[in-house]
Every structure is written in structure tokens, then in C-alpha cells.
């Protein structure tokens, strides 16, 4: 987290502990293609965009996932995380309807 002064835009403080604890070299190669990851989506979701991410779920466990941004049949924005090594759907975040 970075705090920035509103009057002159200078950085006032920075919390880098999470970055320092998690920043390390990794050799990550997805075993699942983006197309196969999209096949893990429910039929009611239409993929809009995807990217590879490292994310934390269930405490401190780290997962290498495709983060797939979708649009639901009810016009809601949804993000689905699909494991890039197994193709297993790990988590769904409902972001709601855009105004």
C-alpha cells in the first residue's frame, strides 16, 4: 500500500511487507491452455478477458490461475479463477451489475 499526499503528490509512506515476503523467482508454466480454462466456466458466463495470475486463497496457499473476467446472462460482471495446472475452477467473484 502506498500513501500519497493530496496537495503535492509525493509519496508519504509505503507498506511493502507483503511484496517482500512473496517476491521470489518462480518457474511457472501453465499445463492448461486459456481455451481449456474457459471450458471450466458455467454455461451462463461469457468470457470477456483472461490473464495468468498468482493469487492467495484459503489462508496463505498460493495458486497459479487464469483470472477470467466474464459477463453473466443477467449482465453481471463475474471473475472466475481456474487453476492453470489442473483446469479446476477454484473461485468465483461476483462484481455486480455495471451502472
**Count: domains in the chain:** 1
Per the domain annotation, does 29 fall within a domain?
yes
With vertex at residue 70, the alpha carbon angle to CA 64 and CA 71, rounded to the nearest 5 degrees, is 165
pTM listed for this prediction: 0.74
User: What is the spatial distance between Cα 69 and Cα 5, in angstroms, rounded to a whole number?
Assistant: 33
Produce one character per residue of 6-43: b if its CB has 16 or more CB atoms within 10 Å, e if not.
Answer: eeeeeeeeeeeeeeeeeeeeeeeebebeeeebbebbee
Q: State the CATH number of the domain containing residue 81.
A: 3.10.450.40
Is 45 among the domain residues?
yes
What is the tens place of the pLDDT at every residue in 29-87?
999 999 999 998 989 999 999 999 988 877 768 899 999 999 998 889 999 999 999 99
Query: Which range marks the domain in which residue 51 is found?
Result: 25-97
Amino acid at each position: 500500500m502506498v500513501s500519497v499526499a493530496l496537495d503535492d503528490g509525493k509519496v508519504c509512506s509505503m507498506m511493502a511487507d507483503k511484496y517482500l515476503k512473496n517476491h521470489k523467482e518462480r518457474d511457472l508454466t501453465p499445463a492448461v491452455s486459456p481455451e481449456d480454462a474457459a471450458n471450466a466456466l458455467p454455461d451462463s458466463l461469457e468470457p470477456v478477458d483472461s490473464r495468468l495470475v498468482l493469487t492467495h486463497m484459503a489462508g496463505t496457499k498460493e495458486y497459479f490461475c487464469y483470472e477470467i473476467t466474464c459477463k453473466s446472462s443477467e449482465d453481471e460482471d463475474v471473475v472466475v479463477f481456474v487453476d492453470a495446472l489442473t483446469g479446476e475452477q477454484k473461485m468465483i467473484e461476483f462484481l455486480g451489475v455495471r451502472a
